[in-house]
Amino acid sequence: MSRAREFIIQCKTKLKWEDLSEDTVMNVGSGTDFFSCRAILEQFPNVKRVITLDHPYIHREAFFWNKNFDHRRVEFRAADIETRVSLQDYEGKINKIVSWNKFHEIRRKEWTIENMFYMLKPGGSIAIWFHVDNPDYVWLWKMISIGKWNQYKTDLLRPYISGDLGVEYYKERMQEAGFHNVLAVMKYKLNWFNTDQDCLGLCNFLKCVQ
């Protein structure tokens, strides 16, 4: 939740998002915990409407949803951000789009950028945060591709499609889609594990082998 909150705060400071009381915000890739959706509501309590969008296979736990969200302002929709036909209801209707920790699961990233532009109102803006290259994901997928380890998998491992094509590549794709004033930043971050147990936590999708 803290990383999602940090991302939404950056939308406030760097993109100058303010009241949003007249804005419809779409959250692309809400996940099962809805971290970014919750961060939007926390940082913009007066937001007019939030549409949280993800694949139909995302499980929405009814009790959690009813407890945390006001259905009058927050709407859950199942749709594929890579497929424009599933987004036709939103053509030119969205003021702002955010996507946190989702883009690295998307195979056709260029199409997705174009579809985001397709849904925006004139003058709208988007903010995207994703792993360009994440060795942790690569390692996990490598592990489950090996038969002797795959048998211990207990949880769903979300897709990972590396997008390590450079900042300029994404900036150019967004400009080609029609965006102006594009800010693209890449940061390198090391994951440190203080103990062996912390490192093992990365593998919580595997059963312990006795």
SS3 at position 91: coil
| Dihedral in degrees, nearest 10, Cα atoms 49, 34, 66, 25 | 0
Q: Radius of gyration of the chain from Cα atoms?
A: 18
Averaged over 39-56, what is the pLDDT?
90
Kind of pairing between the strands at 24-28 and 94-100 = parallel
Contact status, residue 134 vs residue 105, Cβ threshold 8 Å: no
Question: Distance between CA atoms of 41 and 50, rounded to whole angstroms?
Answer: 8
83-128 residue pLDDT tens: 899 999 999 999 999 998 887 778 888 899 999 999 999 999 999 8
Determine what percent of the chain is predicted with pLDDT higher than 70: 68
CA–centroid distance for 208 within its chain: 30
Determine the pLDDT at residue 22. 95
Q: How many CA atoms lie within 13 A of 33 on its CB side?
A: 9
179-201 residue pLDDT tens: 999 888 777 666 666 776 666 65
Kind of pairing between the strands at 120-129 and 49-54 = unpaired
Residue with tokens 């209707």: 93
How does residue 157 score in pLDDT terms, banded at 50, 70 and 90?
A: low
100 forms bridges with which residues in the sheet?
A: 129
> pTM for this one?
0.78
Question: Distance between CA atoms of 56 and 21, rounded to whole angstroms?
Answer: 29
**Alpha-carbon separation of residue 202 from 16, 93, 154, 193 (angstroms):** 35, 39, 13, 10
CA-based max dimension of the chain: 59
Predicted confidence (pLDDT) at residue 54 exceeds the cutoff of 50: yes
